[in-house]
Amino acid sequence: MNESQRQARRASIRAEVAGHEIKGLLLLPGTQLRVPFILWDISDEGLGLWVASEVATGNHVNLILSKPTSCNVKGEVVWCRPSQGKPGFDCGMRVNDEKELLASLYKAITKSNL
């Protein structure tokens, strides 16, 4: 993906989740790995997360959230890098097959932000 395509994707509808502390667990299927996360960004394409441990790019993962709505979201880690100035890692996750679930999570988050 070139830079202009990346910028176009970033221009999608987004909502920052700052001010809410939406926590959950990231599960890596086929392993016992359970990584705590905090959701910090949501868009129509995916999620931005802070995770306690590094998760490899390309991994398919399950996210379990309990609020503002209880759900299990499946996606792919598209980038993961050390957080600047704090422990842990910032990750971007693309959600491909659960757009309706992502949209309902987006609505629940933005509604509770009002």
3-state secondary structure 25-93: EEECCCCCCEEEEEEEEEECCEEEEEECCCCCCCCEEEEEECCCCCEEEEEEEEEEEECCCCCCEEEEE
pLDDT band at 4, cuts 50/70/90?
low
Q: What is the number of domains present in the chain? A: 1
Torsion over CA: 45, 47, 92, 26 (sign): negative
* Range(s) of the domain holding residue 82: 3-113
pLDDT at 73 over 60: yes
The pLDDT value recorded for residue 114 is 41
For 45-57, what is the mean pLDDT? 90
Among 15-19, 76-80, 82-86, the range of highest mean pLDDT: 76-80
Strand partners, 76: 60, 94
Q: What is the pTM of this model?
A: 0.72
pLDDT at 30 over 80: yes
Question: What CATH number does residue 19 fall under?
Answer: 2.40.10.220
